[in-house]
Structures are given as structure tokens and as C-alpha cells.
């Protein structure tokens, strides 16, 4: 073999050898990337307690104004289990209809404006009638209505 050929062989061997370290780096990197992807997958479990929730004695629900009520909803997410107080509006004026207090636009909690007799969202000024119909503002839909029933004199909604 001439010197030049020797040189070429050595170069080939060298470039092969430099692939090996890269391969090792690749294996270490890939193992950890896979573990990272798997371990960071979110752990979500939808609202743990679905079903009928009581809002109190139907006999006591009366008046002109919507009444804000709170129900405790347990949510499980990963290592934590939270009991959240979800508030809803009962409308005694409209056949005890129950409205969600979440604005259909971008999820802010709506408030009752006693002066204008409207629901209003403080985030982007969406207005809803006292029955939950969209009046003005960026919200495209009416306020969400809950399914209701009366059991043993208690008003209940389905969560």
C-alpha cells in the first residue's frame, strides 16, 4: 500500500470511530427524550363527581332577581384533588331556570348587574339578558343552561 492509500484507510477508520461517540450521545439523548415525553404527559381525569347536585329547597327560591348559588365539585388532576366551588345563577322569575356563570366568550365569570337587570362579563363587556340571552359584546352564544329537576322539594342541577 502506498502512503496515500494508508492515509485514506486511516481517515476512513477515523470517521467510523467518530460515529461511535455520536451514536452513544444519541442513545443517551433518545432514552431521556422518550422518558421526558412519557413522564410529562398530563394526568387529567374529568370532573370526578358528575350527577345531580342540590341547590336547596325549591320553596325558598323566590323573587325578581337571579340568585347566585354555589356547588362543590370535586376535580381530580394528577396528584391533587380539588374541591372547587362552582357558582350558578337560579332565575326564580323564569321558572327556576339555572344558568352557568361562565361567559361563553373566553370563560370569565359573569356577574349580575342589578341596575341594568342584565348579566355582564367584566372581561370583554358581553351583556346577557336576565334570562341569559346574548345581547351585545363578543360572546357569540347565550349563557349555558343546566338541566334541572325537583326531588323531595329540592332544586337540583345536573353537573
Sheet holding 126-128, edge to edge: 111-113, 118-121, 126-128, 134-136
DSSP 92: G
Min CB(22)–another protein separation in Å: 7
Q: Contact, 134 vs 142, CB < 8 A?
A: yes
Whether residue 86 contacts residue 70, with contact meaning beta carbons closer than 8 Å, is answered with yes
Between 49 and 133, whose beta carbon lies closer to another protein? 49
User: Is the CB of 68 or the CB of 125 nearer to another protein?
Assistant: 68
| Cα gap 143→126, rounded to integer Å | 11
**DSSP E strands, 38-147:** 52-57, 67-77, 80-91, 97-100, 111-113, 118-121, 126-128, 134-136
Question: Which residue lies nearer to another protein by CB, 83 or 114?
Answer: 83
Min dist CB 39 to another protein, Å, is 5
> Which spans of this chain sit near another protein (rule: CB under 8 A)?
11, 14-15, 17-18, 20-25, 27-28, 31-32, 34-36, 38-41, 43, 49, 53-57, 60, 67-72, 74, 76, 78-85, 87
**Which residue's CB is nearer to another protein, number 77 or number 133?**
77
Tell me which H or E stretch contains 129.
none
**The C-alpha cell that represents 128 in the structure block:** 346577557
Minimum CB distance to another protein smaller for 29 or for 141:
29
Amino acid at each position: 500500500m502506498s502512503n496515500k492509500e494508508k492515509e485514506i484507510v486511516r481517515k476512513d477508520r477515523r470517521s467510523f470511530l467518530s460515529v461511535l461517540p455520536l451514536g452513544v450521545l444519541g442513545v443517551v439523548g433518545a432514552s431521556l427524550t422518550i422518558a421526558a415525553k412519557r413522564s410529562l404527559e398530563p394526568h387529567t381525569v374529568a370532573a370526578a363527581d358528575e350527577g345531580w347536585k342540590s341547590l336547596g329547597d325549591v320553596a325558598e327560591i323566590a323573587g325578581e332577581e337571579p340568585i347566585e348559588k354555589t356547588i362543590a365539585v370535586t376535580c381530580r388532576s394528577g396528584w391533587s384533588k380539588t374541591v372547587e366551588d362552582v357558582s350558578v345563577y337560579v332565575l326564580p322569575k323564569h321558572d327556576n331556570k339555572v344558568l352557568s356563570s361562565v361567559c361563553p366568550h373566553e370563560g370569565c365569570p359573569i356577574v349580575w348587574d342589578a341596575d341594568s337587570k342584565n348579566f355582564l362579563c367584566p372581561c370583554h363587556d358581553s351583556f346577557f339578558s336576565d334570562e341569559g340571552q346574548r345581547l351585545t359584546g363578543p360572546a357569540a352564544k347565550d349563557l349555558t343552561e343546566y338541566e334541572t329537576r325537583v326531588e323531595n322539594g329540592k332544586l337540583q342541577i345536573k353537573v
